[in-house]
Amino acid sequence: MRRSMLFTVCVIAFLLAAASSSFSDDKADKKEDKKEDKKQPVYPAALFVFEERGAGTREMGPKVTDLLFAKLAAKDALVLVDREDLKKTLAEAELNLSGAVKPAEATKVGQLTGAKLLVTGSVLQVEKKLYLVAKVIGTETGRVVGVSVDGKADELDSLAGQLADKLAETIAKKSDDLVAKVLTPADRVAALKEQLKKGQRPAVWIKVSERHTGMAMIDPAAQTELTLFCKETGFEVIDAEEGRRSQAEVLITGEGLSTFTAKHGNLETVKARLEVKVVDRLTDKVLAVDRQTAVVVDLSEQLAGKAALQEAAAAIAERLLPKLVKD
């Protein structure tokens, strides 16, 4: 009888241990799954044409740039600004189109293209060796990091691949230094309040139309964000639907557009552009004009589009509202 009981106890203990081990394994597996499912940050980047330095590098700049664009476009952590769009935008703003872009210009390029990173560089030949030297500039921080590779001139494709790998690795390691810390809306409003202090705020009327390519927008994301920033920082906002324009001192109008740009696995990338004009209602004098581009990655195209327009509106509000406050 005692032997039978002892055997039963041993069996039960063995089963409990096995169950506990299986449960622990399941928990470990779930943790691993969560790590894998965790969304990695994706950085919008603009690639400039590489400069050519030395007689032996003639016509290599565009080739290196094309090869590098193809290599970087395959990296999950980067979303590259369309080359033609970048060229047109920079030409309109009369900014340098080559790898000689200055860090001081990076902020403006970021505003116009939505890029958080700029990749510039040069091709140079020293004796029989070819060097590809690249710089990564943070458009919000102005910080710069550099990488380079070297080899034979007839190994251009291989060198471009090596440089792309090094750039992706460097961006992953240095992203905290290159890309500005993401602030919550509350933090941004608090900083703006501090900047505006107790200056006199005019009553404003806000109307921003917006659309998403191939999709109707449910509500005006940019207009809502501008209204939020105005209200939270002490401006009187006249309702665009129910109120009268004549009650406002300043009219804020604009147009927003968002469009799908790329897909990374389950993530959708959308680019939005917002243009805003501020007019004195009584005199029709234009007080300010601003524009901002934003790129956002999200699980759905519509959510990414709204978020991109909100981000563009927030950035404009931070620059625009201080211009409306009188000491």
Residue 213, pLDDT score: 80
Q: For residues 281 and 194, state if they share a domain.
A: yes
The answer to whether 103 and 144 are in contact (CB under 8 A) is: yes
2, part of any domain: no
Q: How far apart are CA 43 and CA 177, in angstroms?
A: 13
The label of the residue with tokens 């690249």 reads 134
pLDDT class of 132 with cuts at 50, 70, 90: very high
The answer to whether 46 and 119 are in contact (CB under 8 A) is: yes
Domain boundary among 128, 153, 178: 178
Q: How far apart are CA 186 and CA 193, in angstroms?
A: 10
Q: State pLDDT tens for residues 101-130.
A: 776 778 888 888 888 999 999 999 888 889
Sheet harboring 237-238: ordered strands across?
A: 237-238, 204-212, 250-264, 267-280, 286-298
Domain boundary among 162, 178, 194: 178
The answer to whether 278 and 288 are in contact (CB under 8 A) is: yes
Q: For residues 210 and 305, state if they share a domain.
A: yes
Report, as an integer, the average pLDDT of 58-84. Answer: 87
Q: How far apart are CA 201 and CA 195, in angstroms?
A: 13
Which burial class, exposed, middle or buried, applies to 279 when counting CB atoms under 10 A from its CB (0-12, 13-18, 19+)? middle
Q: For residues 264 and 232, state if they share a domain.
A: yes
- Alpha-carbon distance values, 224 to 44, 53, 240 (Å): 25, 50, 11
First to last CA, the chain: 95
Q: How many domains does the chain have?
A: 2
Phi-psi region of 120 (alpha: psi -120 to 50; beta: other; left: phi over 0): beta
Tokens of 182: 């993401």
Residue 292, pLDDT score: 93
Residue 308, pLDDT score: 92
pLDDT class of 39 with cuts at 50, 70, 90: low
CATH of the domain at 142: 3.40.50.10070
Residue 44 has pLDDT above 90, yes or no: no
Domain boundary among 123, 157, 178: 178
Q: For residues 161 and 191, state if they share a domain.
A: no
Q: How far apart are CA 285 and CA 291, in angstroms?
A: 18
244, part of any domain: yes
User: How is residue 105 annotated by DSSP?
Assistant: G
34, part of any domain: no
Burial profile 61-93: b = 16 or more Cβ within 10 angstroms, e = fewer: bebbbebbeebbeebebbbbbeeeebeebbeee
Range among 70-74, 207-211, 285-289 rated most confident: 285-289
pLDDT class of 17 with cuts at 50, 70, 90: low
Task: Output phi, psi for 250, to 5 deg.
Answer: -130, 135
Q: State pLDDT tens for residues 272-325.
A: 999 999 999 999 999 999 999 998 888 888 888 999 999 999 999 999 999 999
Which burial class, exposed, middle or buried, applies to 286 when counting CB atoms under 10 A from its CB (0-12, 13-18, 19+)? exposed
> H helices of 118-262, where?
156-178, 185-196, 221-232
Q: For residues 169 and 190, state if they share a domain.
A: no
Q: What percent of the chain has pLDDT over 70?
A: 83
Its domain, for residue 208, covers 185-324
Residue 100, pLDDT score: 61
The answer to whether 45 and 116 are in contact (CB under 8 A) is: yes
Q: State the helix-helix crossing angle for 301-324 and 221-232, rounded to 10 degrees.
A: 40
248, part of any domain: yes
Q: For residues 152 and 80, state if they share a domain.
A: yes
| Greater pLDDT, 299 or 187 | 187
The answer to whether 135 and 146 are in contact (CB under 8 A) is: yes
